[in-house]
Amino acid sequence: MTTLPVRVTVHDVWDEAKLDVAGSLSLGDLKRRALEVTRVTRSPDAYVIKFRGAELADESQSLDEAGIVPNAALIVMPRRRRPVR
């Protein structure tokens, strides 16, 4: 099985998780894995995953189905914006 290298930046900690995953992995599982690696403990449901500026709403899709390419840069952001103080 070949792996797909991706970079996922988690907005809460501005940390980048470099992961080698199967193209068959779901977007939801990728999001959960990135949150675990960066030690974010909030529920994954509180976050969205974006690629090239667009939200990937169907998190049951695999990376291959979503058109994620090798070395893609994704971002995991809170679903709701936080107020600036």
**Which residues, 6+ apart, have CB-to-CB distance to 80 below 8 Å?**
46
Tens of pLDDT, residue by residue over 5-55, are 999 999 988 899 999 999 999 999 999 999 999 999 999 999 999 999 999
What CATH fold (topology level) applies to the domain 4-78? Ubiquitin-like (UB roll) (3.10.20)
What pTM was computed for the model?
A: 0.88
Quick one: which of 15, 9, 76 has its CA closest to 49?
76
- Region 56-84: mean pLDDT is 90
Cα–Cα separations (whole angstroms), residue 44 to 20, 70, 84: 20, 24, 22
Residue 54 CA to residue 36 CA, distance in Å, equals 23
Pairwise CA distance, residues 85 & 69, whole Å: 37
